[in-house]
């Protein structure tokens, strides 16, 4: 991650400064098994809280990796699951007023269980299957608040799945 300040000229001619957080693009996976969603919970340091979200992440050490390959890697690392069928759901801009980071969301189905291979930073991560009705209740109750997870679920709903 890098932080930069850009000087720019507004349409009216005045100069301004814009702070930008540059982070690598990420992949997010909505793994669906019947009526269950694969979710992970981990501690999010900036919030000081544990949060439930869909598996997601960037390639290690800012490596370049194709988004479908990254999605499969993140799902396998965080949950141990592998998927036989992948469907692209859409593009997500994390915080376009602050960050250049973008994500690609995928639906993973026809799943096979395995053992997670988490990175050291994910050692305290938990994996659970959450029924869709329970997921939606947790969203309504403010228990699931990860913006990327919510946006990816909206993309899933738009596909009527």
Annotate 45-97 with DSSP letters as a single string. Answer: TTTTEEEEE--EE--GGG----HHHHHHHHHHHHH--EEEEEEEEEEEES-TT
pLDDT along the chain (161 residues), means of 10: 86 88 90 98 92 92 84 96 98 88 95 93 92 98 96 94 67
Please, what is the average pLDDT of the chain?
A: 92
Domains along the sequence of the chain with CATH? 25-88+101-158 (3.90.79.10)
pLDDT the model gives residue 147? 95
pLDDT the model gives residue 146? 95
pLDDT digits (tens, 9 = 90+) for 61-92: 767 889 999 999 999 999 999 999 999 999 99
The answer to pTM > 0.85 is: yes
- Computed from CA positions of residues 153, 41, 117, 103, in that sequence, does the dihedral angle turn out positive or negative? positive
pLDDT the model gives residue 62? 63
Token pair for residue 99? Answer: 């960050």
Q: How far apart are CA 108 and CA 131, in angstroms?
A: 16
pLDDT digits (tens, 9 = 90+) for 102-111: 999 999 999 9
Q: How far apart are CA 144 and CA 2, in angstroms?
A: 28
């Amino acid at each position: 991650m890098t932080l930069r300040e850009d000087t720019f000229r507004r349409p009216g001619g005045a100069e301004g400064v814009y702070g930008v957080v540059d982070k690598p693009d990420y992949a997010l996976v909505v793994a669906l098994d019947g009526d269950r969603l694969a979710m992970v919970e981990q501690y999010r340091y900036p919030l000081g809280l544990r949060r439930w979200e869909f598996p997601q992440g960037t390639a290690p050490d800012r490596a370049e990796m194709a988004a479908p390959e990254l999605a499969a890697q993140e799902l396998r690392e965080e949950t141990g699951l592998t998927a036989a069928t992948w469907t692209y759901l859409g593009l997500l801009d994390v915080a376009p007023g602050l960050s250049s980071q973008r994500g690609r969301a995928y639906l993973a189905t026809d799943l096979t269980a395995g053992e997670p291979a988490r990175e050291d930073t994910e050692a305290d991560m938990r994996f659970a299957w959450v029924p869709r009705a329970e997921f939606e209740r947790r969203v309504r109750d403010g228990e699931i608040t990860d913006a990327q997870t919510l946006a990816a679920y909206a993309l899933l709903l738009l596909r009527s799945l």
